[in-house]
Amino acid sequence: MRVDGFAAIEDYAVVGDGRTAALVARDGSVDWLCLPNFDSPSVFGRVLDAERGGSFQLAPTTSFESQREYVGETNVLATTFRTADGVVRVTDALTLADRSWLAPLRELVRQVECLSGRVELAWSIEPRFDYGRRAGRISSRAGHLVAEGGRTALAVGAWGGTEARATGTGIAGSFDLSGGESGLLSMTVADRDPLVFGTRAAAAERLQSTLEFWRGWSARTAYDGPWRELVARSALALKLLVFAPSAAIAAAPTTSLPEWLGGTRNWDYRYAWVRDAAFSLVALLRLGHTDEARSFFWWLEHATALTLPRLRVLYRLNGAVETAERELEHLSGYRGSRPVRVGNGASSQLQLDVYGSMIDALWLYADESGDLSAHEGKAIAKLADWVAEHWRCEDFGIWEVRSGPAHFTHSKAMCWVALERASKLAERGLVPDHRERWNGEAASIRRFVDERLWNGERNTYVRAASSDDVDASLLLLSLFEYDDPRGERLRGTVAAIERELRDGLRVRRYLSDDGIGEPEGGFVACSFWLVAALAKAGRVDEAGALMEELAGAANDVGLYAEELAPDGSFLGNFPQALSHLACVAAAQALSEAGP
């Protein structure tokens, strides 16, 4: 199940509490957890260094097979271990505190239930604070063992025939359970806050209330079209990535999971990208989660306020702009894929498409809510004015290339989207009316695209003015209605993408050099964008067939990473918000296309 101590990326599931998330492997090991927040240093980082990363392991002591699922439409994970002597189920959750309780800052609960026979399990907590730089100092307080590292402390509660014991740098114990017996582990967290020592009853009640919260939230997902189960799981994955204190949505809860084994495309995705944020706003609105959409809109408005009319590519989850990129040289990387990076240098790039994504989302938000404040309307007009002035600039594009800027077709088309949507808002009196300028510049964008970014001989839009290659981001021209999805130009473009970038269900982003010069997997979001483009083009049967293949490419609990390797294994950060956003968009496109 492991290679050199590493589990396959697809062998992970994720649990979260709206502030951080933990990756749980099939063998019961929690191999990734940052505390107290998504973008904090890791305490368990085995996924990036099998020896120095740290983990929370829990598994039978003899050979076993495991099967897992989320408990209904929740983000609570149940793993069933089968041994020669019996069957045991482990239920994992990062709990959501009931406000009436004195609750810990963060809590990981692991409930163990023997379903039949007799099973012995061993557990061990080996925290490695600050991305594996320091082991924990173990002490005893109020009958609990506590691991401390810097400003963070972990208290371990163990009940049901087990006792926690110090092991030097960690805490360990075992269960010996017969059918009907159960035990429970609770790891509570403090970060410059009082450390709460819980009871078994309180931890069990928080686990139950967490289940109830997720069930109630899922019941409000307003989607009854095809692929309901896949859409519901994608919605839950997106909700899990919402940083509750600010309503920002992390692109992924992980950093540096490689886009190719042994390669250097290892990026930190624990931030909120404006583009993904806009896609998320649209998805949440269309799925009926208007509270999250309004909160997210509030974050988007305030996070960008200090930089308007210039937008940063990405922001920290608390709205800050500092995301300096650095390498953690002491970590070996996932299966030797180095460097391990924290921070993201793309934050300072110019990516023109984010303006179109954002104004399109705000246009939809206004259409759904029926209103924008005068302040919000002025901010949108400033964004559109900025686009009107700067759309002729070269940029780094949606894929954040490090080969230098270019005139990317997708970027120019999204600038047109920005101006077209702003004009619609002005027509409704929701933003200051600069339509004469916006419409004039939108027409100029059209001429630029027609003259420099359309290849008549190949019958396709091209990636950039400096290239004759195609790019999978061109599929978004259909989704954002830059051109007629059934028209000759987009039909030719989709055909070229299928011919040159598609390999079965996998779709590559591009063929051109991006300044890195290494292979990568098929980009999951691009495959789902192809589904949507095919559906909008009237090729519904082909879209449905590809959707069927992609549904089978999810892991056993319905999650997607960023990319797929040729053998179907996962690559890149996990779970990936953009993959699940594209999944929702594909399902909705199929639903709208009809039978």
Question: Which pLDDT score, from 0 to 100, does residue 503 have?
Answer: 95
Q: What whole-number distance in Å separates Cα of residue 185 and Cα of residue 306?
A: 44
Shared domain for 289 and 173, answered yes or no, is no
**Is residue 368 scored above 90 in pLDDT?**
no
pLDDT at residue 101 in the model: 63
Per-residue pLDDT at 71 exceeds 80: yes
Question: In terms of domains, do 181 and 294 share one?
Answer: no
227 in a structural domain: no
Does one domain contain both 317 and 428? yes
Tens digits of residue pLDDT in 119-158: 999 999 999 999 999 998 999 988 889 999 999 999 999 9
Q: What is the spatial distance between Cα 417 and Cα 355, in angstroms, rounded to a whole number?
A: 9
Residues 131 and 249 placed together within one structural domain of the fold: no
pLDDT digits (tens, 9 = 90+) for 501-530: 999 999 999 987 666 777 889 999 999 999
Cite the beta strand spans of 442-490 per DSSP E.
454-455, 460-461
Would residue 221 count as lying in a domain?
A: no
Domain boundary residue, one of 182, 216, 250: 216
Q: What is the pLDDT of residue 294?
A: 84
Q: Is 387 among the domain residues?
A: yes
Domain that holds residue 137: 2-216
Shared-domain flag, residues 178 and 283? no
Q: Is residue 481 part of a domain?
A: yes
DSSP letter for each residue of 399-440: TT-SS--B-BHHHHHHHHHHHHHHHHHHHTTSS---HHHHHH
CA distance 77 to 211: 10
- Check pLDDT > 80 for residue 595: no
Average pLDDT score over residue span 94-101:
77
Is residue 486 predicted with pLDDT exceeding 80? yes
- The per-residue pLDDT for range 146-198, each reduced to its tens digit, is 999 999 999 999 999 889 999 989 999 999 999 999 999 999 999 988 898 88
What single DSSP character describes residue 10?
Answer: G
pLDDT of residue 280: 87
238 and 125 in one domain?
no
Q: What is the pLDDT of residues 398-438, one digit of tens each?
A: 998 877 899 999 999 999 999 999 999 999 999 999 999 99
Number of domains in the chain: 2
Please provide the DSSP assignment of 321-371 as one string.
-----EE-TT---GGG----EES-GGGGS--THHHHHHHHHHHHHHHHHS-
| 100, pLDDT greater than 60 | no
Question: Are 320 and 197 found together in one domain?
Answer: no
What pLDDT is recorded for position 515?
A: 66
Least confident of 240-244, 279-283, 452-456, 552-556: 279-283
409 and 514 in a common domain: yes
Mean pLDDT estimate for the chain: 94
Q: How far is CA 369 from CA 17, 290, 363, in A?
A: 28, 9, 10
Shared domain for 151 and 250, answered yes or no, is: no
Note the pLDDT of residue 111.
Answer: 98
pLDDT at 295: 86
Convert the pLDDT of each residue in 240-280 to its tens digit: 999 999 989 999 999 999 999 999 999 999 999 999 888 98
Q: What is the pLDDT of residues 9-54, one digit of tens each?
A: 999 999 999 999 999 999 999 999 999 999 999 999 999 999 999 9
The predicted model scores a pTM of 0.96
pLDDT tens, position by position, 46-60: 999 999 999 999 999
pLDDT in the model for residue 151: 92
Amino acid at position 80, single letter: T
Structure tokens given for 460: 């396709």
Specify the pLDDT at position 99: 62
